[in-house]
Amino acid sequence: MERPIAYDKLAREDRLIRMRARDVAQLKIEQGLPPFPDLLSRDSIKERVHGIMVGELQAMEGAGRTVYDFPDAPWEFTMDMARQVWDESRHVEIYVRLLEHLDGYIGEFPETTILWRCACAEDAAARVAGVNRGLEGLACDVFNQLVHIARKMGDPILERAVDYVLADEITHVRMGSKWLTRLTEGDPERRRLAIEFQETIDERFNLGGIRREGPHDAVPISIATEARREGGFTDEEIARLIKTTQRSAVY
């Protein structure tokens, strides 16, 4: 099997339509819509849930590729990634069912592969930094906010299911924090490059200022500082993330 695979080799059923994230955003802007779905209506929540569902699919595939791509990494690393595959596969099922709960269907919105592209780093340390800390950190932000919005909406199905997923994601962030340190022990250059890769992902997913610090119902994506702390982010890292959201380029 090819190792690693090119980002455009992701296999999909016909019912999913793949588009570049920037093209989807552009089409929406042209129609006077926000580029990223807000959480103000059931329909926009459904679109966000669809985006999360395909993100979970890519996260499962990405963790699986990490199990395959790095046979020489420590066995405990493989174990953590295999566990993550299992978690993400359950998350896919959870979000497909939530999509049904919201009267949606798989393929109702385009699939963007921006997450998957980030999961294709060739170095294991960069991959866990980018995926487990960058992307799973973003997942913590998004899910934490969704739990609060669901609670406010009075939707216990959405609230409970997403809260369990959030607990898993915090665990994945913790794995990322652990393996970023262990895999780069005694190799500061490798660590620097891995963190740099994570920061490019953080920057990209600030989405031109859409992610920022603030109340759950006032900002499009609110930074989950507490969940991030539980995942091993230091206060300094969280402060730096918040600072970068204030200077992000337009998406």
* Interface with other proteins (CB under 8 A): 1-3, 5, 9-17, 19, 24, 27-28, 31, 33, 57, 60-69, 71, 75, 78-79, 81-83, 85-86, 88-90, 92-93, 96, 100, 105-110
Considering the complex, state which of residue 64 and residue 209 has its C-beta at the smaller distance from other proteins: 64
The 3-state secondary structure of the chain reads CCCCCCHHHCCCCCCCCECCHHHHHHHHHHCCCCCCCCCCCHHHHHHHHHHHHHHHHHHHHHHHHHHHHCCCCCHHHHHHHHHHHHHHHHHHHHHHHHHHHCCCCCCCCCECCHHHHHCCCCCHHHHHHHHHHHHHHHHHHHHHHHHHHHHHHCCHHHHHHHHHHHHHHHHHHHHHHHHHHHHCCCCHHHHHHHHHHHHHHHHHCCHHHCEECCCCCCCCEECCHHHHHHCCCCHHHHHHHHHHHCCCCCC
For residue 95, which of 60, 130, 131 has the smallest C-alpha distance? 60
- Closest distance between other proteins and the C-beta of residue 15, in Å? 5
Give, in order, the Cα–Cα distances in Å from 100 to each of 97, 107, 161: 5, 12, 13
Considering the complex, state which of residue 46 and residue 212 has its C-beta at the smaller distance from other proteins: 46
Considering the complex, state which of residue 100 and residue 185 has its C-beta at the smaller distance from other proteins: 100
Considering the complex, state which of residue 85 and residue 170 has its C-beta at the smaller distance from other proteins: 85
- Closest distance between other proteins and the C-beta of residue 228, in Å? 25
Considering the complex, state which of residue 22 and residue 240 has its C-beta at the smaller distance from other proteins: 22
Task: Identify residue 7 by its one-letter amino acid code.
Answer: Y
- Closest distance between other proteins and the C-beta of residue 237, in Å? 29
- Closest distance between other proteins and the C-beta of residue 236, in Å? 34
Considering the complex, state which of residue 93 and residue 217 has its C-beta at the smaller distance from other proteins: 93
- Contact (CB, 8 A) for 119 and 189: no
Considering the complex, state which of residue 5 and residue 242 has its C-beta at the smaller distance from other proteins: 5
- Closest distance between other proteins and the C-beta of residue 1, in Å? 5
